[in-house]
Amino acid sequence: MSAGARRLGDGLRHRAGSAAVALAALLLLVTAPSFAQAPAASTAAAGPVDVAGTVHVCSSCHGPGGHSISSTFPRLAGQQKDYLEAQLRAFRDHTRADPHARTYMWGMAARLSDALIAGIADYYSKQPPVPGAPENSPEAQAGQKIYSEGIAAQSVPACKACHGEHAEGNAVIPRLAGQHRAYIERQLEAFASNARANEVMHDNSKNLTADQIRDVAAYLQTQ
């Protein structure tokens, strides 16, 4: 090979090497921002769960802010957070299996994560509850007596012992104040028949007559 040919080859190799270095530097500049953004994305993912979209879906049945207008669906506004979490997990895990749970909530809760359940429960627990509708009907008066004193002759304890003086609930014990009368009636009937499994509530409701269930529900709607 002539000296001229060798010089030409060396020059081409030098330019090729310089081009490779330049390309590597360009790739480093292009990809560097994506690595820099990764920690920020991880931090955001670890923050509060956004429940806005899920709550919007819930509102189609439970009403805006949990202020349901249909007695088919319970009012959730102001409900105890721990109770809401427990019920949503029970719907998701199919451990609450009453007819309404199967029909409406098993599918709705099937893909909820624990974090999303906690966020939904927190949201509804902080909404202002629906005020009761005061009335002095004979049913509501009879229901107040059962709620406050129980019925000793039927081994029915006072409801307020667990649900509170004003039916506000506590932790996993639900708020009943201002709830739909028809909804409470259905739940007491479900507890009494064991369609909705709960040992304590079954014992407390199994001896109530249909009229007494109606009276308690009438009173609670006024609170």
Residue with tokens 């207008």: 69
Domain ranges of the chain: 1-45, 52-125, 138-221
Which residues, including other chains, have CB under 8 Å from residue 76's CB and lie 6 or more apart? Answer: 58, 62, 66, 68, 84, 124, 127
CATH class of 52-125: mainly alpha
CB 174, CB 83: distance < 8 Å: yes
Q: Are 181 and 75 in contact (CB under 8 A)?
A: no
Position 146: which residue type? I
Write out the chain's pLDDT in tens, 223 residues: 444 444 434 443 444 444 433 333 333 322 233 222 223 333 333 457 899 999 999 999 999 999 999 999 999 999 999 999 999 999 999 999 999 999 999 999 999 999 999 999 999 999 999 999 888 899 999 999 999 999 999 999 999 999 999 999 999 999 999 999 999 999 999 999 999 999 999 999 999 999 999 999 999 999 9
CATH architecture of 138-221: Orthogonal Bundle (1.10)
- Reported in sequence order, the residue ranges of the chain that DSSP labels E, i.e. its strands, are none
Half-sphere exposure in the Cβ direction for 200 (13 Å, CA): 8
Rounded CA-CA distance 213/207 in Å is 10
Q: Structure pTM?
A: 0.78
SS3 151: strand
